[in-house]
Amino acid sequence: MGMTRRSLPWRVIILTIIVIVIGLVVYFSFQNAFDLFRNFRVTINNESDYDIVSVKTGLEKGDHSKNNIEDGSLYILQRDVPSGKKVKFAPQLNLSGEGAIYLEFTDNQGKTQNHTVCGYTEYLSGNSYVTITNDKVSVVEECM
């Protein structure tokens, strides 16, 4: 006896579902590895009691000078980061050669802080995660 015409579509549907599930498992397993090759992104998690009212990212050259003269070496985030909120953004920067990326932010009390969010980069790719509390700022770098 051979296959009936009715059983063939069900086998195709089941096989398609299995392939999709395997693809999703592979994608989510390697998602962090793929993130390293995307454009550089910063995630700010504001756990402090204060709103962040100004955020800038820029490039540092090898001598740790902030080089804001060249086009594309400074990016200003056009929104606030309210207390208790998280913001993710991709600063539009242009790097020739190598350098580092800094983040400067000011809270609604007027206190300004400056932190390196990527200590070394040639490709402006990867992620940095910045957590701001009342007591400290912690940075996790995953950049290239």
Evaluate whether 68 touches 58 at the Cβ level (below 8 Å). Answer: yes
Residue with tokens 């793929």: 34
pLDDT tens-digit map of 99-141: 899 999 999 999 999 999 999 988 888 899 999 999 999 999 9
Dump pLDDT digits (tens) for 58-107: 998 765 556 555 567 899 999 999 999 999 999 999 887 888 999 999 99
Q: Are 62 and 99 in contact (CB under 8 A)?
A: yes
